[in-house]
Structure formats: structure tokens, C-alpha cells
Amino acid sequence: MKPQKQRIIILIAFISFLLGLFAAVLPHGKYLVFISNEDDALSGYVKLQSNEFQVKYIHSIHLTEVIESLEVLPDASLMMTEVEYSDFAVGMPSNANEGEEFVQEDGKYFIRNMTTLLPEYRMFVGDIDEALLLSVAGVDYDLKKTLSRGTSYTLSIKQLSFLQKIQGSELK
């Protein structure tokens, strides 16, 4: 092969390598990510399909379902918009704050029109055999299948690169 053709092939290969490397480290798409509070490792993620999602769980004390609805704001912070529950026991609100609406329907309690701002959402994955789900765009993800029980996590909104995604587990 002529030296000129070899240089062109090497240059093309080098540029292709750089483009591939760039694509691997360039963040793309918004994801709901779970970061372990023990070691700051990316533990799980799911692509953000909508600016709204829910965390559904069974309360560890009174063993009734709680549904917390959240909205992702343009600055990637979170706003709690609604809470649904069926028991006034420990850890549950007994009324709405100013500007919110307290409603009782079909034996359940709702606090609506909430505007509670959260820079992140912290959760503890308890070691009880009860549901802990993340619901995004109508799809429920069982967090106990991906995240470790007995561990605390921070849920936040991040852009992830291909390399970052292979460090965590995509929620299924």
C-alpha cells in the first residue's frame, strides 16, 4: 500500500476512535437515577419518559399502600404534587398545608395541589417483603429487584453517558 493511502486510513481510524470515545462519554437523555448513599455508586436508572412519576410503597409500620406523585422541573429538581394513603398512622399527614387540598375518596386520603420542592428524593429500601415500585409513564419497576435491601438511596434526575450507564443497572 502506498504511504499516502496508509496515512489516510490511519487518520480515518483515529478520527473514528475519537468519535466513538466522544459518544461513549457524552451525556445524553434524562434518567431517573438511584445513587447509593453508602458509596455514591450508580445503582440503578430508568429513562425519563415523562416529567411525572410515582413512588408506590407499603408503609413499614402500618402496612398500607402509599403513593407519592412527583414532577420533574426544568432545572432537574423534583416537586411532590400529591400523596395518596389510607391510614393516619405514624409518618402520614393528617391534613393539607396552605394552598393544598385534602380530599377523602373511596376510603383513601389525598393531599393534592402540593408544591413541595425537593432537590432530590431520598429513600430507604427496607428489608420487608412488601412492594416498592417506581411508576414511570404507566410502567411499574420493582425497585427491590434492582436495589439492595437495607440500603439508602438518593433518587435524582441526571443525564448519563453510555459509560455511566454500564456502571449501574437499568431497571426492568
Q: Give the bridge partners for 104, in sequence order.
A: 109
List, for residues 44-83, the tens digit of each pLDDT value: 899 988 899 999 998 877 788 999 999 999 999 999 999 9
Q: What integer is the mean pLDDT of 138-165?
A: 88
pLDDT of residue 89: 73
State the pLDDT confidence band at 88, using cuts at 50, 70 and 90. confident
Determine which of 48-52, 93-97, 112-116, 152-156 has the lowest per-residue pLDDT on average.
93-97
Q: Which of 136, 142, 167, 145 is nearest to 48 (CA)?
A: 136
List, for residues 3-54, the tens digit of each pLDDT value: 777 777 666 666 666 555 555 555 567 899 999 999 988 898 999 888 999 9
pLDDT of residue 60: 73
Q: What integer is the mean pLDDT of 128-148?
A: 89
pLDDT of residue 85: 92
Alpha helix positions (H), the chain: 3-25, 143-146, 162-165
pLDDT of residue 77: 93
pLDDT of residue 20: 59
Three-class secondary structure of residue 156 per DSSP: strand
What is the value of pTM for the model shown?
A: 0.80
pLDDT of residue 13: 65
Helix (H) or strand (E) holding 136: strand 132-136
Q: Which of 61, 106, 58, 67 is nearest to 85 (CA)?
A: 67
Say if residues 24 and 161 touch (Cβ distance below 8 Å). yes
pLDDT of residue 25: 55
Say if residues 141 and 171 touch (Cβ distance below 8 Å). yes
